[in-house]
C-alpha cells in the first residue's frame, strides 16, 4: 500500500471518529542538541534529526510546525500530546509502551568516563566493585543504566555541564554519557576533558522518531512508518546522513553510516582484563550440531564464532543440556547462550545481544481426538494438560494462564506423551516437529494444529547477574558488525540455500534474522 492511500485511509479514519484532521498539521517537538537540532531554528539547517522528521512528514503529505523547547518538556509533550512527534526520544524498555516507535534516527554509545588517575582505570573495565558514585542528568534514561552498575550512589544533576564538571573537579568518581555528548560539552564550555578516559561501555541506545501512544495517533502510525521507509530510500536522506557525518566530525565525533542508519562514536574499551566468558549451547538441528570430538557446527555456531572473533574474546562453545544452561544463566555472571526465547517474563533477566531466529509456536494435539481447534491460547480449557520440555519458556507462559503443564526431559518425550494420550497437547514449534517427523514419518500424520501459531524470537543472550557491562557492549557491537559483513551474509545465503534445497526446510532471512517459514515470494 503506497503512502498516498495510507494517508487517505488515515484521514477517513480520523473523520469517522470525529478527530480534528482538517488542517493535517503535525507538531514537531525538538530541543537544542548539537548537529541534531539547531537551537537557532535556522530553516536552512535545522539539524539532522529535525530535517529527517520534516522529510518523513512531507513524504506522508502532511504540514508541520516546529517547537523548540527544553529536553524534559519535549519528552513530556511528545509522550502525552496527540498529532505531535519528536526525533529525539531514546528508546528504552521502560518507555516501550508509552510511545509509537516510527523509525530509528541514530544509534549512540553509552560510556562511563573517569579521571585518568581514577582507581577505575587500574582495574578491569566495567568492574563493579570499584564504582563509588556516577553522575548523570536528572530524569535522564541513563540514570537507570547507571544503577545497573551497582554503584554506591547515582548523583543526578541539572545538566551535563554540571555532571562532567563534577568529575573533573573530583567531586564525583565518574559520569555516564555518550562520546558525542561529551565532545560537544567540552567544546561548548571549554572543559578540560582530555583528563577523562573511558572505563566502561554499556549497550548502545537508539534515538527514535516517536509519538504518544494515544487513540488520535493510532491511524497515523502506518502512514508515518511507510513514509519513513520511503524517505530513507531517497537520495535526499543519503545526502542528509553524509552532511550530518561531516558536522559531527567538526565536533570531534566519529560516526559511521550503515544500513540506512547513522551510528555515533567509536569508543572501544581495551580487551585487557576482560573476564572469562562461558558460551553454552543446547543441540538444535541445523543450528547447533555435534560433529564428534567436541566439535560443533551449524548456523548459530558460525555466527557466535564470528561475533567472538570480532569482539576479541576467546571462549569455546560448550554443548550443554538446556536445564543446566538456565541454571548457569540465572546464578553466574558472563554466561552466554545462543538460543534464548525473548519473552516479557525474561525481558529484565538477561542482556539481549542479537536476534537469531523467529519461529512459529503452537499447540498440537492428536488428529484423531475430538478436541476442537481453539482460537487462541488463553481459551484452552483449564482441565487440559500440556506437555513441554523441562525449562522451556512456554511452561511459564501456560502456567500464567492457569493451564496445567507437565514437563519432560526432551521434546521427543513430550510429543510421545500426546501420542500415548498422557497429555492433551504439546506446545512446540513447527520446525521442531518437522525435525522429529523426519525420524518418525507417521508422527506428523497423527498430530494436528489445535491453537494458531504465534511468533517468538530467539536471541544470543548473556546472563545479567553481575556480568561485565563492557563485555555486553563489546559483544553487542561485534554482533552488529558481523551481521553487516559481506563474509557472514555470504555464509547465511549458502546456509539458507542448503536448508531449502537439501533439507527441504524453507527459511528466509529478514534484517539478519532467520525466519523459520517460507518467504511470501516462495509460497
Note the pLDDT of residue 92: 83
Note the pLDDT of residue 40: 61
Taking Cα atoms as reference points, which of 237, 253, 233 lies closest to residue 245? 253
Instruction: Report CA Rg, the chain.
Output: 25
User: How far, in Å, are 71, 86, 193, 513 from residue 190 at the CA level?
Assistant: 22, 30, 8, 45
Note the pLDDT of residue 23: 43
Note the pLDDT of residue 274: 55
Residues 114-119: contacts with CB under 8 Å, at least 24 apart: 114/167, 114/173, 114/174, 114/175, 114/196, 114/197, 114/199, 115/167, 115/168, 115/170, 115/195, 115/196, 115/197, 116/195, 116/196, 116/197, 118/173, 118/174, 118/199
What do you get for the CA distance between the two ends of the chain, in Å? 20
Pairing state of beta strands 335-341 and 447-463? Answer: antiparallel
Q: What angle do CA 83, 84, 86 make, to 5 degrees?
A: 150
Alpha-carbon span 98 to 88, nearest angstrom: 15
Note the pLDDT of residue 128: 42
In tens, the pLDDT along 109-159 reads 888 999 999 888 765 444 444 688 999 999 898 998 888 788 889 999 999
Alpha-carbon span 143 to 521, nearest angstrom: 46
Q: Which helix (H) or strand (E) holds 421?
A: none
Q: Say which residues have a Cβ less than 8 Å from residue 489's Cβ, sequence separation at least 6.
A: 483
Count other C-beta atoms under 10 Å from residue 152's C-beta. Answer: 9
Q: Say which residues have a Cβ less than 8 Å from residue 159's Cβ, sequence separation at least 6.
A: 137
Instruction: Tell if the pTM clears 0.75, that is, is over it.
Output: no
Alpha-carbon span 243 to 249, nearest angstrom: 10
Note the pLDDT of residue 303: 93
Count other C-beta atoms under 10 Å from residue 484's C-beta. Answer: 13
Note the pLDDT of residue 270: 52
Spell out the domains of the chain, with CATH numbers in brackets. 25-105+207-264 (3.40.190.10), 108-122+130-205 (3.40.190.10)
Count other C-beta atoms under 10 Å from residue 321's C-beta. Answer: 15
Cell numbers representing residue 418 in the block: 500426546
User: How far, in Å, are 275, 305, 421 from residue 313 at the CA level?
Assistant: 9, 10, 48
Per-residue pLDDT of the chain (523 residues; tens, 9 = 90+): 454 544 444 444 444 333 434 447 999 999 988 899 986 656 677 899 999 999 999 999 999 999 999 888 999 999 999 999 999 999 887 888 899 999 999 988 888 999 999 888 765 444 444 688 999 999 898 998 888 788 889 999 999 999 999 999 999 999 999 988 898 889 889 999 999 998 887 777 889 999 999 999 999 999 999 999 899 989 899 899 999 999 988 888 888 776 678 888 766 655 445 567 889 998 888 889 887 666 788 899 999 999 998 888 888 898 888 878 888 888 788 899 998 988 888 888 899 999 999 888 778 888 877 667 787 777 888 788 888 887 777 777 778 778 888 888 787 888 888 888 888 888 887 777 777 777 776 776 788 778 777 788 999 999 987 788 888 888 998 898 888 888 888 888 888 888 877 777 778 888 888 887 776 644 4
Q: Say which residues have a Cβ less than 8 Å from residue 53's Cβ, sequence separation at least 6.
A: 28, 64, 85, 86, 87, 209
Are residues 106 and 262 in contact, defined by beta-carbon separation less than 8 angstroms?
A: yes
Q: Say which residues have a Cβ less than 8 Å from residue 360's Cβ, sequence separation at least 6.
A: 429, 430, 453, 454, 455, 516, 517
Taking Cα atoms as reference points, which of 337, 332, 375 lies closest to residue 354? 337
User: How far, in Å, are 189, 387, 404, 424, 451 from residue 417 at the CA level?
Assistant: 70, 7, 14, 8, 18
Q: Say which residues have a Cβ less than 8 Å from residue 520's Cβ, sequence separation at least 6.
A: none
Packing angle between helix 430-439 and helix 411-419, nearest 10 degrees?
A: 80
Note the pLDDT of residue 62: 94
Amino acid at each position: 500500500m503506497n503512502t498516498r492511500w495510507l494517508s487517505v485511509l488515515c484521514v477517513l479514519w480520523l473523520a469517522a471518529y470525529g478527530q480534528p484532521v482538517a488542517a493535517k498539521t503535525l507538531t514537531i517537538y525538538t530541543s537544542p542538541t548539537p548537529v541534531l537540532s539547531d537551537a537557532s531554528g535556522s530553516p536552512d539547517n535545522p539539524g539532522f534529526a529535525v530535517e529527517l522528521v520534516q522529510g518523513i512528514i512531507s513524504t506522508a503529505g502532511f504540514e508541520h510546525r516546529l517547537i523548540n523547547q527544553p529536553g524534559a518538556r519535549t519528552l513530556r509533550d511528545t509522550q502525552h500530546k496527540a498529532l505531535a512527534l519528536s526525533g529525539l526520544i531514546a528508546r528504552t524498555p521502560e518507555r516501550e509502551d508509552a510511545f509509537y516507535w516510527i523509525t530509528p534516527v541514530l544509534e549512540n554509545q553509552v560510556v562511563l568516563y573517569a579521571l585518568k588517575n581514577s582507581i577505575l582505570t587500574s582495574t578491569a573495565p566495567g568492574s563493579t566493585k570499584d564504582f563509588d558514585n556516577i553522575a548523570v542528568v536528572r530524569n535522564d534514561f541513563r540514570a537507570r543504566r547507571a544503577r545497573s552498575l551497582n554503584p554506591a550512589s547515582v548523583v543526578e544533576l541539572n545538566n551535563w555541564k554540571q555532571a562532567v564538571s563534577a568529575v573533573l573537579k573530583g567531586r564525583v568518581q565518574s559520569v555516564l554519557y555518550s562520546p558525542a555528548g561529551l565532545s560537544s560539552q567540552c567544546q561548548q564550555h571549554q572543559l578540560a576533558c582530555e583528563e577523562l578516559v573511558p572505563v566502561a561501555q554499556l549497550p548502545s541506545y537508539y534515538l527514535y522518531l516517536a509519538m504518544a501512544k494515544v487513540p488520535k495517533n493510532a491511524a497515523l502510525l502506518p502512514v508515518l512508518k511507510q513514509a519513513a521507509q520511503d524517505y530513507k530510500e531517497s537520495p535526499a536522506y543519503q545526502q542528509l546522513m553524509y552532511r550530518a557525518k561531516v558536522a559531527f566530525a567538526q565536533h570531534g565525533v566519529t560516526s559511521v553510516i550503515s544500513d540506512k542508519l547513522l551510528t555515533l562514536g567509536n569508543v572501544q574499551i581495551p580487551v585487557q582484563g576482560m573476564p572469562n566468558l562461558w558460551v553454552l549451547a543446547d543441540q538444535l538441528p541445523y543450528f547447533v550440531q555435534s560433529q564428534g570430538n567436541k566439535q560443533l557446527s551449524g548456523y548459530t555456531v558460525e555466527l557466535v564464532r564470528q561475533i567472538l572473533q570480532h569482539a576479541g574474546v576467546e571462549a569455546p562453545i560448550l554443548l550443554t543440556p538446556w536445564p543446566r544452561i538456565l541454571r548457569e544463566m540465572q546464578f553466574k555472571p558472563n554466561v552466554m547462550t545462543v538460543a534464548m526465547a525473548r519473552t516479557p517474563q525474561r525481558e529484565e533477566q538477561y542482556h539481549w545481544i542479537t536476534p537469531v531466529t523467529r519461529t512459529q509456536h503452537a499447540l498440537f494435539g492428536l488428529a484423531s481426538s475430538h478436541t476442537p481447534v481453539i482460537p487462541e491460547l488463553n481459551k484452552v480449557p483449564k482441565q487440559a494438560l500440556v506437555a513441554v520440555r523441562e525449562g522451556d519458556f512456554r511452561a511459564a507462559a501456560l502456567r500464567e494462564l492457569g493451564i496445567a503443564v507437565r514437563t519432560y526431559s526432551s521434546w521427543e518425550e513430550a510429543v510421545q506423551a500426546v501420542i500415548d494420550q498422557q497429555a492433551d497437547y504439546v506446545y512446540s514449534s513447527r520446525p521442531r516437529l518437522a525435525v522429529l517427523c523426519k525420524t518418525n514419518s507417521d508422527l506428523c500424520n497423527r498430530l494436528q494444529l489445535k491453537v494458531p501459531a504465534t511468533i517468538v524470537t530467539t536471541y544470543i543472550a548473556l546472563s545479567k547477574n553481575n556480568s561485565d557491562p563492557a563485555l555486553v557492549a563489546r559483544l553487542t557491537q561485534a554482533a552488529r558488525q558481523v551481521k553487516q559483513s559481506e563474509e557472514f551474509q555470504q555464509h547465511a545465503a549458502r546456509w539458507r540455500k542448503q536448508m531449502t534445497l537439501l533439507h527441504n526446510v524453507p527459511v528466509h532471512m529478514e534484517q539478519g534474522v532467520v525466519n523459520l517459514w517460507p518467504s511470501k515470494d516462495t509460497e
